[in-house]
Each structure stands twice: as C-alpha cells, then as structure tokens.
Amino acid sequence: MQVLEIIVLTDLGVYAAHRTFHAVPILWRFHAIHHSVEEMDCLAAFHVHPVDQIVTKATALLPVFLLGFSGEAIALYSVIYMGHTMLVHSNTKIGFGPLTWLIAGPQFHHWHHAGERAAYDRNFAGQLALIDLVFGTYRVPTASMPAKYGVDDPIPSNIFGQIGYPLVPRKAVTTGDRPRSEP
Ligand SMILES: [Zn+2]
C-alpha cells in the first residue's frame, strides 16, 4: 500500500518538475540534453543532465521522506521505478492496450520524445499516464510509434559539451531554437 502511495506522490512531483523544465527556457536547456537522444533505448533513461536529475528527484522524493514512509517501501519503489523508467525509454513497441491511459508505457513516453511539433509538451508523467489525462497534457495519437526523435537545439555531441551547454550564454534567438511556446 505504501509503495502505491509513493508512486502516486512521486509521480505528481515528477510531473510538476518535468512540466516546469519544459516551460521555463533556462530549465529547458538542462532538460534538452535528455531530449537530444535520437534513438530510444533503455540507456536513454540515464542520458540526463545532473541538474535536471537532482532537481527532479528532489522534487519527487522530498515529500516521501518528510511524510515518513518506511525504508522498505522506498527501496521497493526505487527498484520498480528503475525498471519502469528503463522500460518506457526502451526500443520496443510494447503498448499497454486498454491501460495506455493509466500506466506510462514505451508508446506513451516515446511520444513525449517525438521530434514533431504536435508532440511537444505532452506526456510528462513518469509512471502514471493518468496524471497527464487529468491535467490535459495526455497525447498518444496512434497505435504506432513516432517516426523521429530528438530536438532542434544545437546540443553538443560529447559529454563535457552537454554538461556545459545550459551554462554557456547564447544569442537570444537562433534559428536552431526549438519553438517551446508555440502550440
Ligand atoms: Zn521531457
């Protein structure tokens, strides 16, 4: 029961942090590192800028520790989360059929990474697609998978370039900017 409560609580935090990382331009520069992957596989789950990782995990987990859930429940949740985040990023067409709207699956999360305008800023939840449904950001358009992944942002290809990318000032507008605020 505690594990289920932790999943709901943490995923509300993941949703809020993730949506904020998409909405605020300076934060998007950190999160764009994760979206720069152009081929989805389970390792994409770990292709995350440290600032993105720390802020998102802190937002999700701080209430869990403050509310005093048991160590065993937190440990079991951590194992489930690790498996789940690798699954939703993995290179598979597994769909959850009639439960697609409830549990985040590869199809749901692949559409979050889709490199097409209509897919931007949708499907923020990590484990419970229901949260996106409730807040009006759910979008799984077809039973198929996206044709293309990645972003237009000029993300460097090496690790040091990617870690420094959000911190290096750029001109206010470049032709490579992903149009974050457009519908
Ligand atoms: Zn994202």
Distance 35 CA to ligand 1 centre (A): 6
pTM for this structure?
A: 0.88
Distance 113 CA to ligand 1 centre (A): 7
* DSSP for the chain, written as a single string: -HHHHHHHHHHHHHHHHHHHHHHSHHHHHHHHHHHT-SS--GGGGG---HHHHHHHHHHHHHHHHHTT--HHHHHHHHHHHHHHHHHHHSS-----GGGTTTS--HHHHHHHSBSSGGGTT----SS-HHHHHHHT-----SSS--S-B--SS---SSHHHHHHGGGS---S--TT---TT--
Distance 144 CA to ligand 1 centre (A): 20
Q: In whole angstroms, what is the distance from residue 50 CA to residue 53 CA? A: 5
In this predicted structure, what is the pLDDT of residue 141? 87
Distance 115 CA to ligand 1 centre (A): 12
Per-residue pLDDT band at 171 (split at 50, 70, 90): low
pLDDT, one tens digit per residue, over 88-139 is 999 998 878 889 899 999 999 999 999 888 889 999 999 999 999 999 999 9
Residue 22 has pLDDT above 90, yes or no: yes
In this predicted structure, what is the pLDDT of residue 93? 83
